[in-house]
């Protein structure tokens, strides 16, 4: 007899949906079949049974520009669990004053309160050629992906071309992954310099200041260095059809490149900047057009983009108070709790993607990209028992007041959603049950990844 059996559900496994029971012993999936019996049993009749979602792009307790994102590792991972997310990959906070391994140790301490499992990308700031040993030391600590920016020079984040080239060389030798915030800041700066005070006083100017051209240009530079060094590269939060086209072009040349997008780029368009509260939608890249959204959905179906993640970077409306210019705002949107329901409702329910594709872009392919597969991302014997029971028929409206993220607004306020998380299991433990939190602060484990 198994410790736990979820019975009669529609399991999403690989390219199929099968009616079956799934059994757990301890923290591991032990069997999949019919007629399984457990000490604890849950009936999932009429429900979908999905692998736990992996949100590989979150920013808990992010300190930037005089602001700190409003979710810490407890509140943020608790909210994630409500949304069926059982693993996050957050970021170390880089500093020219520290080494990459030191950044990891500091972040490990900050993440201790996590409710669910977590891993890190190392943010690369102040790194110089000759410091390649820092990458190896990070890999030995279980961090196998490294974050670079082609913008944000004012905060010290931008990596110049020489840094990118030499870093990619070192990562290629290790087999590690470079992940890139791809916006050409020189183009952005040239556009902003042409703007007068009236332009900067309009929130809608954000879309003009950071156009798709900036994304496409940066993707091309990154792809070129990847081609020359043999490095694996991953473009984060792809927002535009042009970004998709440049990734596809690089893929066709045999370059090891992948990309992700986010719900805000799939569902929101730049017309939201015209609203009275348009400043609350500040994020980079900027929101695009409905045409760009169709490119992104198609790219997910074609495998050009492999994942949907959130770039969860929450700030309260007070932190985002309008100060007279789109340049004077913290950039980032909340979303870790609404990832699965939104992508199901707007994707599967509206026939943009299939159920197996949903599972791949929210779980399996993300696990493969970031060295977590097969421990995470799949319903498979021997994998961690990260399991979501999802009601595909439940209809509800998004309201910030009813969500659990530590923020007082939602970009999707009043959006009607079909599909809701009923139960979330993290390594075999039921942590969300019909809206009740049963998890424990600090139960989440650091996932040491191996190449």
Measured from the Cβ of residue 252, the count of other Cβ atoms closer than 10 Å reads: 8
In a domain, 223, yes or no: yes
Q: What is the CATH number of the domain that holds 354?
A: 3.20.20.140
Spatial distance between the Cα atoms of 80 and 373, rounded to a whole number of angstroms: 20
Q: Which one-letter DSSP state was computed for residue 283?
A: -
Q: Is the pLDDT of residue 401 over 80?
A: yes
Distance between alpha carbon 358 and the CA centroid of its chain, in Å? 14
Task: Indicate whether 60 belongs to any domain.
Answer: yes
How many domains would you assign to the chain? Answer: 2
Q: How far apart are CA 279 and CA 135, in angstroms?
A: 38
Percent of the chain at pLDDT > 70 equals: 100
Which two tokens mark 47? 């429900």
Residue 351, pLDDT score: 98
Which helix (H) or strand (E) segment holds residue 206: the answer is: helix 205-209
Do both 21 and 80 map to the same domain? Answer: no
User: Does 254 share its domain with 289?
Assistant: yes
What is the C-alpha to C-alpha distance for residues 182 and 188, in angstroms, rounded to an integer? 12
pLDDT per position as a tens digit, 325-376: 999 999 999 999 999 999 999 999 999 999 999 999 999 999 999 999 999 9
176 in a structural domain: yes
pLDDT band at 66 (very low <50, low <70, confident <90, very high): confident
Name the E strands within 226-317: 232-235, 257-261, 307-308
Helix 161-174 to helix 212-229 angle (10° resolution) is: 50
Burial of 400 (0-12, 13-18, 19+ CB in 10 A): middle
Give the whole-number percent of the chain exceeding pLDDT 90.
Answer: 98
Q: Cα–Cα distance between 446 and 142 in angstroms, integer?
A: 9
Residue 262's H or E segment, with its range, is none
Closest CA to 259 of 369, 124, 336: 369
89 lies in some domain: yes
Q: Are residues 129 and 215 part of one domain?
A: yes
pLDDT at 155 over 90: no
Residue 378 lies in a domain: no
Opening angle at CA 84, ends 447 and 438, nearest 5: 85
pLDDT at 154: 85
Q: What pLDDT sits at residue 116?
A: 99
Residues 25, 57 within the same domain: no
Same domain, 71 and 41: no
Residue 45 sits in the same domain as residue 58:
no
Same structural domain, 305 and 255? yes
Q: Is residue 447 part of a domain?
A: no
pLDDT in the model for residue 8: 98
How do residues 288-322 score in pLDDT, each as one tens digit?
Answer: 999 999 999 999 999 999 999 999 999 999 999 99
Question: Residue 198 — pLDDT band, cuts 50, 70, 90?
Answer: very high
Q: Calculate the average pLDDT of the chain.
A: 97
Question: Is residue 258 a contact partner of residue 369, using CB atoms and an 8 Å limit?
Answer: yes
DSSP state of 33: E
Tell me the two tokens of residue 393.
């028929």
Q: For position 25, which CATH number holds?
A: 2.30.40.10
Q: Look at residue 156 in the predicted model and tell me its pLDDT.
A: 86
Tens digits of residue pLDDT in 71-116: 999 999 999 999 999 999 999 999 999 999 999 999 999 999 999 9
In whole angstroms, what is the distance from residue 148 CA to residue 121 CA?
A: 10
So what's the pLDDT on residue 394?
A: 98
Same-domain check for residues 123 and 269: yes
Of the pLDDT bands very low, low, confident and very high (cuts 50, 70, 90), residue 187 is: very high
* Same domain for 142 and 102: yes
**How does residue 167 score in pLDDT terms, banded at 50, 70 and 90?**
very high
- Look at residue 429 and tell me whether its pLDDT is greater than 90: yes
Distance, CA of 189 to CA of 43 (rounded, Å): 57
Longest pairwise C-alpha distance within the chain: 71
Question: Whole-model pTM above 0.85?
Answer: yes
Asked whether residue 189 is domain-assigned, the answer is yes
Tell me the residue range of the domain where 10 lies. Answer: 2-50+385-398+417-437
Tracing tokens 């985002």 back to the chain, one arrives at 320
CA–CA distances in Å: residue 172 to residues 135, 136, 166, 218? 11, 11, 10, 20
Residue 225 counted as domain residue:
yes
In terms of domains, do 358 and 430 share one?
Answer: no
Residues 137, 17, single domain; the answer is no
User: Can you name the residues that pair with 16 across neighbouring β-strands?
Assistant: 13
b/e burial code for range 156-193 (CB count within 10 A of at least 16 → b): ebbbeeebbbbbbbbbbebebbbbbbbbbbebbeebbe
Beta strands in 37-164 (DSSP E): 38-43, 48-51, 53-55, 63-64, 67-68, 85-91, 117-123, 145-149
* The pLDDT of residue 189 is above 90: yes
Long-range contact pairs involving 11-17 (C-beta distance under 8 Å, separation at least 24): 11/49, 11/379, 12/48, 12/49, 12/50, 12/51, 12/355, 12/356, 12/358, 12/359, 12/379, 13/378, 13/379, 13/380, 14/356, 14/378, 15/356, 16/356, 17/48, 17/355, 17/356
Residue 65 has a pLDDT of 77
Q: Are residues 32 and 82 in the same domain?
A: no
Residue 169 has pLDDT above 80, yes or no: yes
Q: Could you give the CA distance from residue 239 to residue 213 in angstroms, rounded to a whole number?
A: 11
Give the per-residue pLDDT at 424. Answer: 98
CA distance 285 to 241: 13
* H helix intervals, 54-204: 73-82, 100-110, 133-140, 161-174, 185-192, 197-200
């Amino acid at each position: 007899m198994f410790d736990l059996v979820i019975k009669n559900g529609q399991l999403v496994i690989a390219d199929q949906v099968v009616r079956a029971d799934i059994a757990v012993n301890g923290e591991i999936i032990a069997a999949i079949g019919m007629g399984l019996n457990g000490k604890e049993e849950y009936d999932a009749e009429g429900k979908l049974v999905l692998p736990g979602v992996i949100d590989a792009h979150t920013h808990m307790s992010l300190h930037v520009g005089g602001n700190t994102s409003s979710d810490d590792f407890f509140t943020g991972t608790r909210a994630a669990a409500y949304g069926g997310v059982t693993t996050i990959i957050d970021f170390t906070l880089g500093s020219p004053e520290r080494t990459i391994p030191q950044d990891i140790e500091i972040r490990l301490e900050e993440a201790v309160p996590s409710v669910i499992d977590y891993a890190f990308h190392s943010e690369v700031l102040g790194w110089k050629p000759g410091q390649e040993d820092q990458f190896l030391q990070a890999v030995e600590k279980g961090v196998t992906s490294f974050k670079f920016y082609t913008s944000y020079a004012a905060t010290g984040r931008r990596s110049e071309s020489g840094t990118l080239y030499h870093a990619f060389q070192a990562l290629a030798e290790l087999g590690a992954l470079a992940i890139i915030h791809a916006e050409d800041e020189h183009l952005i700066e040239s556009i902003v310099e042409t703007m007068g005070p009236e332009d900067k006083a309009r929130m809608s100017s954000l879309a003009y200041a950071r156009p798709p051209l900036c994304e496409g240009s940066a993707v091309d530079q990154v792809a070129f260095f990847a081609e020359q060094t043999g490095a694996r590269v991953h473009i984060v939060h792809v927002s535009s059809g042009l970004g998709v086209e440049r990734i596809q072009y690089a893929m066709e040349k045999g370059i090891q490149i992948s990309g992700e997008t986010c719900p805000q780029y799939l569902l929101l368009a730049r017309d939201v900047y015209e609203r009275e509260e348009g400043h609350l939608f500040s994020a980079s890249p900027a929101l695009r057009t409905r045409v760009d959204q169709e490119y992104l959905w198609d790219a997910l179906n074609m495998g050009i983009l492999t994942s949907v993640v959130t770039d969860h970077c929450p700030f309260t409306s007070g932190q985002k108070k309008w100060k007279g210019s789109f340049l004077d705002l913290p950039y980032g949107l909340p979303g870790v709790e609404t990832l699965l329901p939104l992508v199901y409702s707007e994707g599967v329910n509206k026939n943009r993607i299939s159920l197996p594709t949903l599972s791949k872009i929210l779980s399996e392919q993300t696990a493969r990209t970031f060295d977590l597969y097969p421990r995470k991302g799949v319903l498979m014997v021997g994998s961690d028992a990260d399991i979501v029971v999802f009601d595909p028929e439940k209809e509800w409206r998004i309201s910030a007041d009813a969500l659990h993220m530590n923020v007082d607004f939602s970009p999707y306020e009043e959006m009607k959603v079909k599909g809701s998380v009923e139960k979330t299991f993290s390594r075999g433990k039921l942590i969300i049950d019909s809206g009740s939190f049963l998890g424990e602060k600090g139960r989440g484990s650091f996932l040491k990844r191996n190449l």
